[in-house]
Every structure is written in structure tokens, then in C-alpha cells.
Chain A
Amino acid sequence: MNNSILVVVIASGVAYGTPLLFAALGELLAERSGVLNLGVEGMMLVGAVMGFWAVQRIGGPGRTALFLAVAVAALAGALVALLFAFIVITLRANQIVSGLALTIFAGAAGLSSYLGNDLGLADAPAEHQFEPVDPFGLADVPILGPILFGQTWLVYLSWALVVVIALYLARTRPGLNVRAVGESPQTADAMGISVAAYRYAHVLAGGALAGVGGACFTLALTPQWVDGITGGAGWIAIALVIFSFWRPELCLVGAYFFGAFQALPFTLQARGVTIAPELFQALPYLMTVIVLVIVSSGIAKRRLGAPGALGLPFVREER
């Protein structure tokens, strides 16, 4: 039963969806504070390359090295995001152009490729990689076993993160402030909340999570480094934030949904079914467009729509 196609697809959807989930949660935090960062792909790639570098250089037992590598990836992602934050928050440049500039700067054929080549990371398998662990010994339970308990620590970490972020946004004072900053920075400013500080913090957190998302590739999914290893996952993550109506808990569902679509062609191929993989790969993008149309229609906009000030720089003297 645990080898049935549905279970295999969902289990691999969880694995492939995890980098998307990390990156999308990060982008969600940034967007909730009113900053649209289109540089996710670039930040993921820098995280991927630095995480891989760390695991190659840090000695010691595998698990310590791996978790340190994840921390390095997060730090690298946050550093790249800092550059973006300075440009769009302090210098108030156009967020769209700056985000694309960030992807060109950091992405494939940019900083990540430079670092990878300069540090000599190509063509080497990873020293350590995240293996599936089974903390409760339940991986053999029918159906739910492989999906819920046959996963890596990164997957379990992402679940914890969903809960933390959902509670943070809904139940804490700073979470409420972030939402105020994203919906109406003027109001937030009048309340004495520092718009710039909140935006910096959440863009940096977004960069860190994107870095971890990138490291999911080089440390777990395909444990090696090649230029452009994330293959457009950063763009899917941006789509995912919209697809999930800017809610962390829906992000989780959406990530596995999109992950399953990426994994499905491989699974089908392994079983001798040949369907053009492009059909499945195009579905996440098409569904995002459809969701976006729904979100922007009148009634849904109020309950499900984007943060009111998304993409707009905040200038105190402007009214």
C-alpha cells in the first residue's frame, strides 16, 4: 500500500515542496510588511551555494555540520536580502526593478555562480546530506507513514515554522504591527511603529528563509552544486504566496500541491507512463494566474487580498 502511486507522489510532493515552503514563508513575511521581493530565486541560489560550501568545509559529525550549513545558508540569504532592503526601504527604489536586479545580481550566472566556481564546488558530491529520519518509528504505518514520518529534519523544521509564523502573525503584538505596516504604513507610522525597522526585519527574515530553501536543494534533494540548481523554484515560491492568499497554513498545502506537480512526471516515468511533463510543470503557473484573477475580483479582495501597501515605498512626508 505504501508503494501505491498516490502515496509515492504525495510523499515526494512533500520533499519537493519543502524548499518552496521555506522560500514562500519568507516571501510571505516580506510581503506582509509591504515589500514585494522578486529576488527570491537569487537569494535561494546564494543560500544553496553557501550551504553547500559550509557542509564541505565544516568537519565534525554529519548532523552538526548539516545544521551549521543550514545556518550559514540562512545568513547568506539574509545578507543578500540586506542589500535589497537598503535599496528599496532606505533609498526607496522601485521594488520590482530592484527585485529583478537582485536575481540577476545573485542568481544563476551571477554571484551564486561566481561563488560556486571560485570556491571550487562544482563536480563534487556532498560530504553529508539530510537523510530521511523517523523520530517515532512510524514510517511503516500504512499511507500516512511515508508521507508524514519518512521525511528529513528539514521537513519537520518547516512544519514547526508554519505554526510559529501563523501564530506570530495572528496572535502576537509584533505580528499585528507587521500587518499594519503592510496594510497602511501611514497609520502604522502614526501609531508610533517604525515602518522601516519592521520592513528591514521581515525582508531579512525572508532572505534567511529563502537561503534555507535553497539549501534544501544542495543538502537534501540533489546533494551537489551546479549553477542554477533551484531551477526557477524562487519564482514558484512567489506564485505560492499569492496562491495561498498570504496565509502560512495555506502555504503548506500549496507547497505540497506544487511540489507534487513537479514530482509527478518523474514518478509516472518511473512506472512507464509517458505524458508530456510540460503539462504538469505548467500547472502551478496557470493555477496561480487563475487564483490571482479570483483574488483581484471585488468580493474576494477584502477577505483574501494582498496587503494594501504591497510594493509601495513608504515616504513619510507624502500623504
Chain B
Amino acid sequence: MFEAAFTAPGALTQSLIGATPLVFVGLAAAAAFRMNLFNIGGEGQLYFGAIGSSAAGLLLAGQSTTVLIAAMMAAGMAAGAAWALIPGFLRAYLSTNEIITSLMLNYVAGLILTYLIFDSHSYWRDTTSASAAVFPVGKALPDAANWPTLGSSVVLPFGFLVGIGAAALLWALYSRTRFGFEVQVMSDSPRAARYSGMRTRRKILAVMALSGALAGLGGASQVGDFLHTLDADPKGLRAYGYGYTGIVVAALARYNPFAVVLVAFLLGGLQNAGSALQGPDFPSGLVGVMEGMILFTTLGGELLIRYRVRLQRKRSETVSPATGAAR
């Protein structure tokens, strides 16, 4: 299994490709969960990121690659943030539980995505080419909008690098700025935060927008790195449930941005190994079973950590996912 995930020829590349979206959605979940804001809407925000970035790519056809990449990233982040601000606003001003609202909006976003390609003549849909007459597809983005890749034997998607950069920025934001400190206080003791005059509502909106922007960037990376079109096929972008896996990634990484990158890489490897090994001895469902078991063990183990905390203050954060994926 380890061989199929990391050391077989081309396997590392495939694992990196699988890990790229998980980095973004994992960071998105980690950013929100740090403040006890349970944004489960990463999935929908990722779709919106894909919608926004593909619109930018189509609109700016003819521009240089640099302009296109910047515009696609910005549009993806803006669209994801906008979608995340709906539950954020409801939570901040109407104290509506964001867990369920963000979850429900995932489905609405998925239906909007389907509608844009399958049931309307929207800007994103390809209505001219011959294959599009048989099966509805999205317009192809201009070639200049393809994000570059790095390396030759092991191909590193540009999005993965962006993800590492985003992780570093998120880490700096949460551990080195006043903003991060206030978020920490609000999650540990909302009452203390209120007494000291922190603006909770604004912070909820800001954190939800940040989380949505990260997930939206994941959508932009999907479009720019791999799909090069707005993909609404139920077997395409929507099949993987990246947004939900992202929450698993964030939980395994204990909301630490750098650990998110590592866990995403390991889970990407696990999923890649699953599809590479798939066959009579290795039915397709096994990957989900293993992912779930790794997560259950980690979650269950937290109680033991909590109760032994005086004996071992510093605990390694990635031990259990690492051993889990190597199994």
C-alpha cells in the first residue's frame, strides 16, 4: 500500500494531485474550527470557488498566464468567501447555528453547479462544440489559464505550492497577530472576549470569510490545475466530497496549518493507493473504511490524551495519522 501511494513510478505525483484540494479544504476547516465556528460548508464553498475562478478564466481569455492565475485565485477566493458569509452572517446577527446552515448550503451550491451546466444556457456552458451536443459540458478555459507545474519526474501542481504558502500565512495570522490572539480568546472563553471589548460579530464574519476564501481557493486550484473547465458531472468534482474530507484532515491535524499539509499529503496518498490497488482483493470502499477508522482512533484517543496531560505536556501531533497511513 505504501508502495502504491508514494514509491511506485508516478505514484508520488498522483498522491500530490489528490492531496492538493485536501490542503485547501483542510486549511479552511482548521481556520474556522480554531474559533469554534463549525463551518461544514467547505464543499459548497469549493464549488463556488470553481464557479468564480472559471468565470474569471473565461472572461479574461487572451490575457497573460500571470494575470489569469491571479484573477482566478482572486475570483475563487471571493466567490468562496461570499458563499461562506451567508452562514457567517446568520450566525453573527441572528445567532443561527452555522453547522446546519453551512451543511444545507453545500447541497444548494451543488444544485447551482448542476443547474449552470446541465439545465441552463449559462455563461459557463459549452453550447457550440460537437461533443457538448451529446453531453452537457462546461466551456474549456483558454490554455493560458492552465496553472504551471513544477518538476519532471515528480510533478508538483502549482496549487500544492499555493497551499503550502496559504498554510504558512494562516499559521502566521493565527499565532503572530492580534487577530489570531483575539480568535484564540473567543474560542477559549467567549465571555472574557466580550468583557474585554472584542468585536465578536465582526470576527465571526472575518473568520467565515477567511475559511470560505481558502475553500474557494481550493476550487480555483481544481479548475486551474486539473479540470480547466467548470465540471458539474456527478462523477467529477462533486463525487469526492473534498469538503467533508477536509474536516477530517483538519481534525487529524488538530487545526495546525502545517500539520494540515502533512495530513493532506498522507490522505492523498491513501486515496491514490486505494484507486491504484482497486480490484478483487481491494474493493473500492476500503479507503473510506480506513480513513474513518484512522479518524475514529484519533478522536477516541483524545480522551486519553486529555487525562494524561500532566505527564506529557508536549505531544507529537501527527503520530497517529502517520502510522495509520503506513498500515
Residues of A within 8 A of B (CB): 36, 38, 83, 86-87, 91-94, 96-98, 100-118, 227, 232, 235, 238-239, 242, 276-278, 281-282, 285-286, 288-289, 292-293, 296-297, 306, 311
Whether A91 pairs with B285 at a CB distance below 8 angstroms is no
Whether A83 pairs with B94 at a CB distance below 8 angstroms is no
Q: Which residues of A contact B302 (CB under 8 A)?
A: 91, 93
Q: Verify if B111 is at the interface (C-beta below 8 Å from A).
A: yes
Q: Of the listed stretches B74-82, B190-198, B241-249, name the one at the interface; the rest are far from the partner chain.
A: B241-249
- In the complex the two chains form, what is the Cα distance from A278 to B103 in whole Å? 17
- In the complex the two chains form, what is the Cα distance from A278 to B122 in whole Å? 14
Q: Of the listed stretches B54-62, B130-138, B286-294, name the one at the interface; the rest are far from the partner chain.
A: B286-294
Secondary structure dominating the interface of A: helix
Whether A282 pairs with B97 at a CB distance below 8 angstroms is no
Q: Which residues of B contact A278 (CB under 8 A)?
A: 111-112, 114-115, 119
Whether B99 pairs with A96 at a CB distance below 8 angstroms is yes
Whether B289 pairs with A105 at a CB distance below 8 angstroms is yes
Residues of B within 8 A of A (CB): 38, 40, 90, 94-97, 99-101, 103-105, 107-108, 111-112, 114-115, 119-120, 241, 244-245, 247-248, 251, 283-289, 291-293, 295-296, 299-300, 302-303
Q: Which residues of A contact B247 (CB under 8 A)?
A: 97, 100
Q: How far is the CB of B243 from chain A (nearest CB, A)?
A: 10
Contact of B100 among A98, A100, A118, A239 (CB under 8 A): A239
- In the complex the two chains form, what is the Cα distance from A276 to B302 in whole Å? 47
Q: Which residues of A contact B101 (CB under 8 A)?
A: 289, 292
Whether A101 pairs with B248 at a CB distance below 8 angstroms is yes
Q: Which residues of A contact B99 (CB under 8 A)?
A: 36, 96, 311
- In the complex the two chains form, what is the Cα distance from A286 to B105 in whole Å? 8
- In the complex the two chains form, what is the Cα distance from A98 to B248 in whole Å? 9
Secondary structure dominating the interface of B: helix
- What 7 A-B pairs come out closest when comparing CB atoms? A105-B292, A114-B285, A110-B288, A113-B285, A93-B299, A117-B283, A278-B111
Whether A106 pairs with B292 at a CB distance below 8 angstroms is yes
Contacts A115-B285, A292-B101 hold; do A91 and B292 have CB atoms under 8 A apart? no
Q: How far is the CB of B10 from chain A (nearest CB, A)?
A: 23
Given A111-B289, A289-B100, A292-B90; 6 other pairs, CB 8 A cutoff: A96-B40, A96-B99, A97-B295, A101-B299, A105-B288, A111-B285
Q: How far is the CB of A158 from chain B (nearest CB, A)?
A: 24
Q: Which of B107, B112, B120, B288 has the most CB of A within 10 A?
A: B288
Q: Which residues of A contact B245 (CB under 8 A)?
A: 104
Q: How far is the CB of B90 from chain A (nearest CB, A)?
A: 6
Q: Which residues of B contact A118 (CB under 8 A)?
A: 283, 285
Whether B108 pairs with A282 at a CB distance below 8 angstroms is yes
Q: Which residues of B contact A115 (CB under 8 A)?
A: 285
7 contacts between A and B (CB under 8 A): A107-B288, A111-B289, A238-B103, A278-B119, A286-B104, A289-B96, A292-B97
